[in-house]
Chains A and B, each alone.
Chain A
Amino acid sequence: MDTPVKKKLKVATASLAGCFGCHTSFLDIDERLLTLLEYIEFDRSPLTDIKEVSPDCDIGIIEGGVCNAENVHVLREYRKNCKVLIAIGACAYNGNIPVYRNQFPLPVVLEEVYHTGPGLANGLIPNDPELPLPLNKVHPIHEVVKVDYTIPGCPPSGDAIWKFLTDLLAGREPELGHGLLRYD
């Protein structure tokens, strides 16, 4: 990469109904992260602890699908403030493991977890207003907001993330060839 001449791009990331594996994989770009930081700065992200997305954020990267009310609020905040929104990982683009619960009605799931299943003492379904309510179904993020790009994989490899972001930063249509484009 050439020496940066422009203002650094603001990149915000979030993990919704995911496992943070994609964020972990992001860190697998290793020392290339330093190169990347010459071009970008992190905005709201688990990596920074900034609490709100800047209104002029350039890129939002979302890991995980949408399973509860809070996921919807967070996702919409990112969509509203980011010029480009990227889904990263299988959970974000097709729901992945969390959508297994879509095979059952939500009441059946909650009954199983809190009433009939073993393990919980009081058997009550939590109703604290602090807790986000689960949606009746889990959704990939593109079913809730407009998504501009997707980096598939569970998780995508550090190399795939690097290739994708460098393409994007260089103004190319991101492409992952054989070996980098994986859904598993």
Chain B
Amino acid sequence: MSDTFTLDGKTISFTEGQTIMQAATDAGVYIPHLCYLPELKPHGSCKLCTVKINGRETSSCTMRAAAGMVVESDTEEINSQRRALIHMLFVEGNHLCPTCEVSGNCKLQATAYHLGFMSPQFDHFFPIRRVDASHPDIWLDFNRCILCSLCVQASRDVDGKNVFGLSGRGIKSRLIVNSKSGKLADTDMAVTDKAAQVCPVGVILKKRTAFKTPIGERTYDKKPISEVPDTPAKER
């Protein structure tokens, strides 16, 4: 028999070792998240999945569930924090949805829709970032990187390649690739790599596929992200 905790008043069962996120997902309850994918080790950097446990904020993707926990997630207080975090990610990079080929399949955008984000207040940083179109099958648009490091993990832990890494510090943190030239073409990245499938935004893009599915008919055009389980992202 498994133990239970409550999430927004709903009783959730969990098995020993499960995180709150995992247990909630199994129970069909959506907690917003960007840097978490079920098949990779959670690291808790985006903080979108922050919940309140017994009155204290913590990342639900890294916190193990314990019997009797009282967890709050879908409250106005927490969702307002999440909207601010979303907005931080938007202003930190250059996220121009109308010009982005991932629009409609983008988790950042879809999560913002889910949270009803529509009142910007922070000033934009407009960082100078580059694109890398050197690879025959993949191009990289660093303007949209949210530093979730899912590609770093997927390349290292699934592909066994270490194509990606994080560099810099603080607001100057950035994604880099594993080559002397700094170009993706000079790495051993292949379009079939797991790392090419996990980007929640529009950084790692497969060439010649951009508009196969028209805008308006994409994953999160059809259903809100809260109703789309994580796995279909692979087939995007």
Asked if A and B touch directly (CB within 8 angstroms), the answer is yes
In this complex, how many residues of chain A approach chain B with their Cβ under 8 Å: the count is 30
CA separation between A90 and B99, bound complex, in Å? 11
B119 is an interface residue with CB less than 8 A from chain A:
yes
CA separation between A149 and B117, bound complex, in Å? 11
CA separation between A77 and B58, bound complex, in Å? 45
B99 contact set on A, CB distance < 8 A? 96-97
Query: Nearest chain B CB to A163's CB is how many angstroms away?
Result: 12
Contact of A94 among B96, B100, B215, B224 (CB under 8 A): B96
A184 contact set on B, CB distance < 8 A? 97-98, 100, 103-104, 109, 215
Contact of B97 among A147, A149, A176, A183 (CB under 8 A): A183
Given the interface pairs A90-B98, A97-B96, the reply to whether A152 lies near B118 with Cβ below 8 Å is yes
- Chain B binding surface SS class: loop
User: Which among B97, B103, B118, B123 has the highest number of chain A CB atoms within 10 Å?
Assistant: B118
CA separation between A143 and B124, bound complex, in Å? 8
Contact of B96 among A99, A137, A139, A179 (CB under 8 A): A99
Given the interface pairs A90-B96, A90-B97, the reply to whether A149 lies near B119 with Cβ below 8 Å is yes
The answer to whether A183 touches B109, judged by C-beta atoms less than 8 angstroms apart, is yes
Closest to A91 in B: B98
Query: Nearest chain A CB to B119's CB is how many angstroms away?
Result: 6
Residues of B within 8 A of A (CB): 90, 94-100, 103-104, 109, 112-113, 116, 118-121, 123-124, 126, 128, 215, 221, 223-224
Residues of A within 8 A of B (CB): 87, 90, 93-97, 99-100, 102-103, 137, 139-140, 142-143, 147, 149-152, 154, 175-176, 178-179, 181-184
Q: Top 9 nearest A-B pairs by Cβ distance?
A: A154-B98, A183-B97, A184-B103, A184-B97, A102-B126, A178-B224, A184-B98, A143-B123, A150-B118
